[in-house]
């Protein structure tokens, strides 16, 4: 095992793992820092991604969890490290990207790192330090309404500086475009000026490849999944890994499926609407009914049992309804109620024999995976950029289980049906 990745949420972890697999690295994802020795799958992998739930926890907890993951990855043999953050740089004013990055740097004795959430294939680009989502600045995008991490400033140097003790600077696009050597020189120049964290521009995959080559000497990268695209080739060049075309191979599985959506992101709203418009079965989870302790989960499961087509369960709603619910029930309380309900439905579905689940939402995926008692995932082929099918590593006597864990804002309107067809 060569590459150790610490991801700040579940879907972010599968996203970066998918990128590595696509480039030929055999990749395994572990859910949280394993308490015991590494599972056998870890020994056989080139890269291990530790999925944390550290994006929205208090900063001190996020730091402690990330350091624990780092130590575990080091003990398992990792030599290169990657702190995976969201491609929309989701964070609260208290962090957690800055505090975690600085703690990891200190632990690794690393004087400088780059920070680049760009993922051009998914429309996330960084120019002059400003993050764009498609054609819009981050702060004009749907992310400004995110339930937990509303992003209201697109200037990443400013956002990250507010979270860091050390200096944050910018590697501009014209410098990135000059190639790996120029990037290396510019990083050194910024270092001489005391810049420890360097936000890097990237508007396409070529920029990411140049950045990866120019930052190859840094033991830690802070990045979205895009930058991982260039990493396997670099590690192969160094002779650290042998790339494998079969890295994405999972077992063939035809078991029954279900879709669970707990994200209110714009893309998920469109996906739920698309599913319903196509006349497919859909069951709405009402947070108010949950708050009244009505038997929502039991009703949903008995409805599911009667469906001949793949059922969708969704709490997804528009920004106005979400704000109204949150004002009434509390942001965290409403979020937790919905997460617990969807996780309990997932448990019931698996108990009833369903073997393939598509889950929309980062926090939602975390809750579902935890409820299902899944600790390790093998990463398969991508359904769309950033979202692979995965297969739970289960005991040999247990039924197989495959999961597609989608970050809220990923995928086109037809993503749910597309993922079922891709399985
Ligand atoms: P994303 O990947 O889009 O950020 P997440 O699952 O990470 O999605 O976060 C969405 C949060 O919003 C979760 O905590 C979820 O439980 C909560 N949520 C979903 N639907 C509703 C709703 N109708 N009312 C209140 N909170 C909701």
Q: What is the pLDDT of residues 231-276, one digit of tens each?
A: 999 999 999 999 998 898 898 888 899 999 999 999 999 999 999 9
Instruction: Please work out whether the CB of residue 359 comes within 6 Å of at least one atom of ligand 1.
Output: no
Distance CA 392, CA 121 (A): 27
Q: Which of 275, 317, 288, 309 is nearest to 408 (CA)?
A: 317
Pocket test residue of 11, 89, 144, 264 for ligand 1, highest count of atoms within 8 A of CB: 264
Query: What is residue 303's predicted lDDT score, i.e. its pLDDT?
Result: 98
Cα 360 to averaged position of ligand 1 atoms, centre (Å): 9
Element (H, E) at 73: helix 59-75
Q: Which of 62, 39, 175 is nearest to 114 (CA)?
A: 175
Q: Which domains does the chain have, with CATH numbers?
A: 3-237 (3.40.50.10840), 257-422 (3.40.980.20)
Strands 282-284 vs 136-137: parallel, antiparallel or unpaired: unpaired
Distance CA 294, CA 80 (A): 49
Work out the end-to-end distance of the chain between its first and last CA atoms, rounded to an integer number of angstroms: 27
Listed in sequence order, the DSSP H helices in 196-330 are: 205-214, 231-237, 266-277, 287-291, 296-305, 319-329
State pTM to two decimals: 0.85
Q: Do the beta carbons of residue 42 and residue 378 sit within 8 Å?
A: no
Distance CA 361, CA 14 (A): 12
Query: What is residue 423's predicted lDDT score, i.e. its pLDDT?
Result: 63
Strands 130-133 vs 282-284: parallel, antiparallel or unpaired: unpaired
Minimum-distance ligand 1 atom for the alpha carbon of 367: 6
Distance CA 314, CA 310 (A): 13
CA distances from 114 to 82, 84, 184 (A): 10, 12, 11
Query: What is residue 254's predicted lDDT score, i.e. its pLDDT?
Result: 80
> For the chain, give me the number of helices (H) and strands (E)?
16, 18
Query: What is residue 304's predicted lDDT score, i.e. its pLDDT?
Result: 98
Find residue 114's DSSP bridge partners. Answer: 198, 221
Distance CA 238, CA 217 (A): 11
Query: What is residue 391's predicted lDDT score, i.e. its pLDDT?
Result: 95
Give the residue whose CA is nearest to atom 21 of ligand 1: 315
Q: Do the beta carbons of residue 247 and residue 231 sit within 8 Å?
A: no
Instruction: Please work out whether the CB of residue 7 comes within 6 Å of at least one atom of ligand 1.
Output: no
Give the residue whose CA is nearest to atom 17 of ligand 1: 335
Distance CA 415, CA 384 (A): 8
Burial 171-208 (b: 16+ CB within 10 A, else e): bebebbeeebebbbebbeebeeeebbbbbbbbbeeebb
Query: What is residue 311's predicted lDDT score, i.e. its pLDDT?
Result: 98
Cα 162 to averaged position of ligand 1 atoms, centre (Å): 26
Instruction: Please work out whether the CB of residue 187 comes within 6 Å of at least one atom of ligand 1.
Output: no
Cα 34 to averaged position of ligand 1 atoms, centre (Å): 26
Query: What is residue 38's predicted lDDT score, i.e. its pLDDT?
Result: 72
Q: Which two tokens stand for residue 400?
A: 């197989």
Q: Which two tokens stand for residue 238?
A: 């160094």
* Residue ranges, the chain, pLDDT below 70: 423
Q: Which two tokens stand for residue 420?
A: 């079922």
Instruction: Please work out whether the CB of residue 386 comes within 6 Å of at least one atom of ligand 1.
Output: no
Distance CA 134, CA 123 (A): 5
The residues, any chain, with a CB within 8 Å of residue 155's CB and separated by 6 or more, are 129, 130
Q: Which of 120, 124, 150, 122 is nearest to 137 (CA)?
A: 124
Instruction: Please work out whether the CB of residue 87 comes within 6 Å of at least one atom of ligand 1.
Output: no
Instruction: Please work out whether the CB of residue 334 comes within 6 Å of at least one atom of ligand 1.
Output: yes
CA distances from 77 to 26, 71, 189, 394 (A): 15, 10, 32, 24
């Amino acid at each position: 095992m060569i590459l150790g990745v610490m991801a700040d949420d579940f879907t972010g972890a599968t996203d970066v793992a998918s990128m590595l697999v696509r480039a030929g690295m055999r990749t395994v994802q572990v859910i949280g820092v394993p308490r015991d020795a590494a599972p056998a799958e870890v020994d056989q992998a080139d890269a291990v991604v530790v999925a944390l739930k550290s994006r929205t926890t208090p900063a001190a907890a996020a730091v402690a969890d990330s350091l624990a993951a780092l130590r575990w990855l080091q003990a398992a043999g990792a030599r290169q490290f990657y702190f995976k953050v969201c491609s929309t740089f989701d964070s609260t004013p208290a962090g957690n990207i800055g505090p975690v990055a600085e703690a990891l740097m200190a632990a690794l004795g690393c004087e400088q790192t780059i920070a680049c959430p760009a993922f051009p294939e998914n429309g996330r680009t960084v120019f002059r330090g400003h993050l764009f989502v498609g054609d819009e600045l981050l702060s004009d995008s749907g992310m400004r309404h995110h339930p937990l991490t509303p992003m209201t400033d697109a200037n990443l140097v400013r956002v990250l500086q507010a979270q860091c003790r050390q200096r944050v600077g910018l590697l501009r696009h014209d410098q990135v475009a000059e190639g790996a050597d120029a990037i290396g020189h510019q990083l050194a120049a910024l270092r001489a000026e005391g810049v420890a964290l360097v936000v890097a521009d990237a508007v396409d995959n070529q920029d990411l490849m140049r950045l990866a080559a120019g930052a190859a000497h840094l033991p830690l990268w802070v990045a979205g999944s895009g930058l991982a695209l260039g990493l396997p080739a670099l590690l192969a060049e160094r002779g650290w890994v042998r790339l494998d075309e079969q890295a994405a191979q999972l077992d063939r599985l035809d078991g029954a499926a279900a879709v669970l959506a707990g994200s209110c992101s714009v893309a998920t709203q469109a996906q739920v609407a698309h599913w319903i418009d196509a006349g497919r079965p859909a069951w709405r989870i009402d947070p108010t009914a949950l708050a009244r302790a009505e038997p929502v989960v039991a009703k949903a499961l008995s409805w599911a049992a009667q469906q001949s087509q793949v059922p969708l369960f969704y709490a997804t709603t528009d920004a106005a309804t979400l704000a109204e619910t949150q004002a009434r029930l509390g942001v965290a309380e409403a979020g937790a109620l919905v997460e617990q309900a969807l996780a309990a439905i997932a448990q019931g579905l698996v108990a009833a024999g369903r073997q393939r689940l598509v889950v929309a939402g980062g926090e939602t995926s975390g809750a579902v995976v935890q409820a299902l008692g899944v600790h390790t995932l093998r990463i398969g082929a991508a359904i769309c950029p950033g979202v692979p099918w995965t297969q739970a590593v289960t005991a040999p006597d247990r039924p197989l289980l495959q999961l597609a864990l989608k970050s809220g804002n990923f995928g086109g309107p037809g993503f749910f049906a597309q993922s079922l067809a891709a399985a």
